[in-house]
Structure 1
């Protein structure tokens, strides 16, 4: 029996369908005092169980954390009482990625912010069309957020997706910006406005030790064991991000020491947690789209 590889569109759509199901299940696990480690592991298990693979570690970021918090090995961190929680997950099928995020407010005081973030994404998706410039699109997103009484974060953006590439060289801004890029047919993009209250700095800074890594170089390594691990990381993740806890599961706690050495050598890149500079709470919603000549497919909806 011959095995037929999926077309890129089929793979994008399947990844999106899995991501939609997984994020809906994940939302039910966001509760006060829940362990973030358990949430991340269950979400990632669900991705695999539904026939996909994680495109990056499950992110569970709270309050002023905008993105990139994933559980460390043996993490004891919990969901805070009354928190504003961002659940961001990535799924890939044969390298074709679906990226989706949702914000859950565990207190009614977040209702307006959460609703504004949801409406800003909904409006942004309605504006996308082939050939639309990113500059014009960013203006649409910025204006919508402001009309609702909020502002988009200046240095966080959506991004074009590629096979096994989460950020494929083009950022999709959430503000007006000078760029010659535009939405192109047959390309996939993650659309993700991040918003905060007016008066916030509305920029993010890196803070805290990262638990997310990515193989970024193939420099020659004299240490044979380290070189073997680099090859295994490439074989398994193909340049996509991975979690430090995945390394512990694979290589034991000694794997963390090797990971630190690879970071120092510039072979592995580490991602810090992104925090709003004035500690303003951040809300985010995200969908993945595939541009067709006659329509826009929201793969994660």
Structure 2
């Protein structure tokens, strides 16, 4: 609930004349305020931002979360905006991303509509394909075909990750538009019951080749496998505060009270790979990139998306459509989970520690962070 409410808060505020910095600050502040209201008795429980609010505009692909010292980026009508953020409670993660056009009041056509429709349909296809028994390669192939139908390209080499407690980049991944070498290197995997994924779709009107344009990196995460004795006092102070506040979760330098010291301290930490950077990537100037991300739980009776889409398909009309018969059938199929029949005989329940719990009360599905899966 907090994740979607945070997204809606930022989307509502994203109007012409508003700065990207203010939107990022608003999203992060909302997450911290709302997560601070839950599990108050659990004093040692960490909760808050699982991925800092990023607002990437037009050909900026991802990870743009500026500092106060950075030049202002002001939104204007017609901008294609991508908002990406995440929330966690006790290390249990919920991620989401959404794309839209600023100031759109009537049906939009053209290349922006093409890329938004393509990205949306890729996300919908993934929701139906990321289920127990299927392979990650099936999702990659579907994304390539759908994007091609709209004369677009998935961003090359981008990954969707399995989620685990305190781990935003789990071992199993789904790769977009891999190069020949990436196809050889990327590990094939089968989706399994009770796994959780952050499915991240990034589609471009261009060739799909994202590059680091040299813009300042502001988002990092701790690499728990790296150890190094930092030499500078500023670096040690920064690193100590980072571990205390964020542990292994991604964070932004904007979250530190003294931005100057944070910018200085992060240099040595990143140089010796104690921190992994989330670089700001760009497509070619004049191209547009759309992103949709959702968190999905793989249940025995089907996938359960817990961060719903805010996309309004009626606002965007493309001259292209999916032609592949199998993909058309897939997209037209229901993404709802199958209803499990209740057994009449008495059964004993055994609690198995796992990632998330699903509670079904009447027709409502409630998502809880600290608990177990129950099975017969």
Fold-level similarity (TM above 0.5): yes
C-alpha separation in 1, matches of 2:58 and 2:233: 43
SS of 2:84's equivalent in the other structure is strand
Structure 1 residue 134: Cα displacement: 0.7
Q: Which has the higher helix share?
A: 1
Structure 1 residue 281: Cα displacement: 1.0
Q: Which has the higher contact order (CA 8 A, sep 6+)?
A: 1
SS of 1:214's equivalent in the other structure is strand
Alignment of 1:193-204 (within 5 A): 193-197=201-205, 200-204=206-210
State yes or no: 1:259 paired with 2:255.
Answer: no
SS of 1:287's equivalent in the other structure is strand
* TM-score, structure 1 normalization: 0.85
Structure 1 residue 100: Cα displacement: 0.6
Alignment of 1:193-272 (within 5 A): 193-197=201-205, 200-207=206-213, 208-216=215-223, 217-223=226-232, 226-247=235-256, 249=257, 251-272=258-279
The residue that corresponds to 2:174 in the other structure is: 172
The residue that corresponds to 1:71 in the other structure is: 66
State yes or no: 1:189 paired with 2:197.
Answer: yes
Structure 1 residue 269: Cα displacement: 3.1
The residue that corresponds to 1:14 in the other structure is: none
Question: How many residues matched?
Answer: 281
C-alpha separation in 1, matches of 2:272 and 2:203: 36
C-alpha separation in 1, matches of 2:271 and 2:154: 34
| Cα 1:139–1:48 shift into 2, 3 Å | same
* TM-score, structure 2 normalization: 0.69
Structure 1 residue 224: Cα displacement: 5.2
The residue that corresponds to 2:52 in the other structure is: 57
Structure 1 residue 143: Cα displacement: 1.6
C-alpha separation in 2, matches of 1:190 and 1:236: 23
The residue that corresponds to 1:8 in the other structure is: none
The residue that corresponds to 1:93 in the other structure is: 89
The residue that corresponds to 1:3 in the other structure is: none
The residue that corresponds to 1:26 in the other structure is: 10
On the 8 A contact 1:131/1:183 being kept in 2, the answer is yes
Task: Specify which of 163, 166, 170 is matched with residue 165 of structure 2.
Answer: 163
On the 8 A contact 2:17/2:76 being kept in 1, the answer is yes
Deviates more, 1:252-261 or 1:91-100: 252-261
> Which one has the largest radius of gyration?
2
On the 8 A contact 1:62/1:83 being kept in 2, the answer is yes
Structure 1 residue 202: Cα displacement: 1.1
| Cα 1:259–1:40 shift into 2, 3 Å | same
C-alpha separation in 1, matches of 2:236 and 2:160: 34
SS of 2:197's equivalent in the other structure is strand
C-alpha separation in 1, matches of 2:283 and 2:190: 28
C-alpha separation in 2, matches of 1:152 and 1:255: 34
RMSD: 2.2
SS of 1:53's equivalent in the other structure is strand
Structure 1 residue 261: Cα displacement: 3.0
Q: Which residues of structure 1 form unaligned runs of 5+?
A: 1-16
Structure 1 residue 80: Cα displacement: 4.0
Q: Which residues of structure 2 form unaligned runs of 5+?
A: 36-46, 309-376
Structure 1 residue 68: Cα displacement: 0.6
State yes or no: 1:83 paired with 2:83.
Answer: no
1:226-276 residue CA offsets vs partner (Å, 9 max, x unmatched): 4343233112111211111112x2x45323222223223433333320112
C-alpha separation in 1, matches of 2:10 and 2:259: 27
Structure 1 residue 169: Cα displacement: 2.5
